[in-house]
Structures are given as C-alpha cells and as structure tokens.
Amino acid sequence: MGFSSQIAGLILIAQPVVMAALSPFAGRLSDKISPYKLASFGMGLCAAGILFFVFISEKYPLWLIITALVVTGVGFAFFSSPNTNAIMSCVEEKDYGVASSLLATMRSIGHTSSMAIVTLIVGMYMGNTVLTEAEPAVLVRTMHTAFIVFTIICLAGIFISAKRKLKKENSK
C-alpha cells in the first residue's frame, strides 16, 4: 500500500497492544467464567479477524485493516490467558513447571509451523521472485491463500477447544 516500514509497523502493532491490554482482564474473567468457553470464544474472534484478511485487496481501507487487527488482538487475549488457565488448572501444583514448559513448547511449535506454512505458500505462488519485485496481484493472491489456511486452522481450533470443554464437563 506504499507505507513506510515505520508506518506499517505502527499499523501492525495494533494487534499486540490490544492483546497485551486485554489479556490480564481475560485471565481474571476466566477465573469466573469457564476458561474453555472463553478460549473457544477467543479463537472464534481470531478466526473472524483473520477472515477479514481473506478479502484484502490493494484498495482495502486502512480502517478495515486496523479493525481486523484489533479483532484478532481481542481474540488472542481471550484465547491465550483462558487457555493457559484451563491447562494449568488441570495439573497438580507440583507439575506446574512441566505444564508451563509444555505450553511454551506448543507456542514455539505453533509459531514455527505458521512460518513453515507461509513459506510453503509463498514458494508455491512466488517461487524465487524477490518480494520487492513481486507483482502486487501475486502478492495479494499469496496472502489470500495464507489467510484462508489460517482461518481454517482457527476454525478447527474452536472445535478442538469446545470438545475439550465438553470432555471436562462430562467427566464431572
């Protein structure tokens, strides 16, 4: 869209700022409301925010991009803290270190897998083309595919999170 790297960075920071601001609230709320429901709700918001980007074009209004980033940030806040609460509440105190380590490992695997998926998609659409020389239409098509894949992954995450909730509540 022709933004400088500084402006693009300021735009992209909307999501982590919202996440950082709301995560403590979502964590406290998950002590009062089922963390399984909050985590599923958060994953739903993540899917909705990412779905916005499936329709992105060169003429996409900036306010819609920021809105999608904010929705995704709210989603991550309402997924991450309640999900951590749900997992940590299922282990005994003596196992907190192991559970915390597993959570960190899963986050790292998720980040690495995401980068692998993006790399595969970019390779499929752009091959060896240098990013600065790529045609905007190809770049947009590449992003659409990546966002479709990640929306589907988020939708699967909603069902996995909800299923976990059902198992936990049915075992009581």
Rounded Cα distance between 89 and 91, Å, is 6
120 is in which domain, residue-wise?
Answer: 5-170
Assess contact for 82 and 115: CB atoms under 8 A.
Answer: no
Instruction: State the CATH number of the domain containing residue 154.
Output: 1.20.1250.20
16-28 residue pLDDT tens: 999 999 999 998 9
Return the amino acid letter for 80.
S
The model's confidence at residue 43, banded by pLDDT at 50, 70 and 90, is: very high
Q: Which pLDDT score is estimated for 165? A: 52
pLDDT score recorded for residue 166: 45
Kindly report, residue by residue over 70-119, the tens digit of the pLDDT.
999 999 999 998 988 888 888 888 988 999 999 999 999 999 999 999 99
Looking at residue 128, its pLDDT comes to: 85
Buried-exposed string 81-118: b where 16+ CB fall within 10 A, e elsewhere: bbbbbbbeeeeeeeeeeebeeeeeeeeeeeeeeeeeeb
As for how many domains the chain has, the answer is 1
Whether the pLDDT of residue 171 is over 80: the answer is no
pLDDT digits (tens, 9 = 90+) for 46-72: 999 999 999 887 788 889 989 999 999
Q: What pLDDT score was predicted for residue 1? A: 67
Residue 60 has φ and ψ, to the nearest 5°, of: -65, 130
